[in-house]
Copies of this chain bind each other. A is one copy, B any other.
Amino acid sequence: MNNRILTKYENNPVMCPAMMPKTVLYTFNPGAIEYNGETILVMDVTTLDDVHRLWIARSKDGYHFTPDPEPVPWPEPDPTHIETCTYDPRITKIDDEFYLLYASDLNQNNVRIGIVKTKDFISYERVSTASELGNRNGCLFPEKIDGLFCRFDRPFGNELEPCSIWVSYSPDLVFWGKSRPLMYKGKPWIDGFKMGAGAVPIKTDKGWLEIYHTVSQTCNGFIYRLKACLLDLKDPSEVIGYTRDFLLWPEYDYEMKGRVMNVVFTCNALPQQDGSLRIYYGAADTNIGLATGNISEIISACI
């Protein structure tokens, strides 16, 4: 019997370093969005100087991607936080603008959440450095909640017992507050060492559907796998359902071997007209895969 809710695309990976126009080390953890008849992946690409840069690949059908010749023309850094490394963008469309919440890193352990926006994936404008020190996996909801912007984030404040998915609010994307933990260790939905938001939440009539990553610790390192949860539409700090089983896990070479072994990790999942969901995911911090499933089946698995 097949217990799988998600099906991996048979020609995965849809993107890998060999497909890039220049020699690079890794291509992974893309933000994904549909714009102007194309599927756009904003990928983490590690160049030979070991810096993660954002780089776009575009596709007409969502399966066959062509990378741009150069990385994204990123705006000048925030003068109070001169980032040296950018990765894991989540793309949220609000009105006619696309907001990228990404990890803005100075060096290991100094990461904060940056926000950059674009209207056309050609030119980009910096909005803010939007967190305190030690926060990432920022993920903006596609609409305001009670008049406030709302995001997931993942503060590092507790190294000994890592909390996980938090919710924070903002009137303007610059000043943030009212932070509270959503899912954390000790609650039934965490089975591993840590967890963090994954895809930008998807509004459904049953609640906000969130695909997230959960991290198990083994004697030889971490394993990153995906699960899903369902949050109250009016108050997304309330968990109303979650999957007991993993939705997606590393099992093939392209997911198991690379910069970080044994990782699947998503930033965006794209609902389709036919009720299916396309989850673009980083694999082993090296490749990019596509998995598809039926949204109503994922929701059923949460309840």
Residues of chain A having any CB pair with chain B under 8 Å: 80-81, 108-112, 128-135, 153, 155-161, 163, 166, 168-171, 174-181, 237
User: Which chain B positions have C-beta within 8 A of A108?
Assistant: 160
- B170 lies within 8 A of A110 (CB): no
- B155 lies within 8 A of A132 (CB): yes
- A109 lies within 8 A of B177 (CB): no
- A179 lies within 8 A of B109 (CB): no
Contact among B128, B157, B160, B178 with A174 in the assembled complex (CB-CB below 8 Å): B178
- A110 lies within 8 A of B180 (CB): no
A166 vs B112: C-alpha distance when bound (angstroms): 14
A169 vs B131: C-alpha distance when bound (angstroms): 12
Contact among B81, B153, B157 with A109 in the assembled complex (CB-CB below 8 Å): B157
Instruction: With both chains docked as a complex, state the minimum distance between the C-beta of A111 and any C-beta of chain B, in angstroms.
Output: 8
User: Which chain B positions have C-beta within 8 A of A156?
Assistant: 133-134, 156-157
- Known contacts A175-B176, A176-B177; is A131 also within 8 Å of B134 by CB? no
Residue of B whose beta carbon sits closest to that of A133: B157
A109 vs B81: C-alpha distance when bound (angstroms): 25
- B177 lies within 8 A of A174 (CB): yes
- Known contacts A129-B179, A180-B80; is A155 also within 8 Å of B171 by CB? no
User: Which chain B positions have C-beta within 8 A of A176?
Assistant: 175-177
User: Which chain B positions have C-beta within 8 A of A169?
Assistant: 175
Residue of B whose beta carbon sits closest to that of A170: B175
For this complex, 15 residue pairs linking A to B, each with C-beta atoms less than 8 Å apart, are: A80-B179, A109-B157, A109-B160, A110-B157, A130-B177, A132-B153, A132-B166, A132-B168, A132-B179, A133-B166, A135-B157, A169-B175, A175-B175, A175-B176, A176-B176
User: Which chain B positions have C-beta within 8 A of A237?
Assistant: 80
A168 vs B179: C-alpha distance when bound (angstroms): 16
- B170 lies within 8 A of A158 (CB): no
Contact among B80, B133, B160, B181 with A158 in the assembled complex (CB-CB below 8 Å): B133
- B81 lies within 8 A of A158 (CB): no
User: Which chain B positions have C-beta within 8 A of A159?
Assistant: 109, 159
User: Which chain B positions have C-beta within 8 A of A177?
Assistant: 128, 130, 170, 174-176
Besides the contacts A110-B158, A130-B177, A176-B176, what 4 more A-B pairs have beta carbons closer than 8 Å? A109-B157, A133-B163, A134-B158, A175-B176
A153 vs B157: C-alpha distance when bound (angstroms): 14
A-B complex: 6 closest residue pairs judged by Cβ atoms: A134-B157, A133-B157, A175-B175, A80-B180, A175-B177, A133-B155
User: Which chain B positions have C-beta within 8 A of A179?
Assistant: 80, 129, 131-133
Residue of B whose beta carbon sits closest to that of A160: B109
User: Which chain B positions have C-beta within 8 A of A181?
Assistant: 80, 133
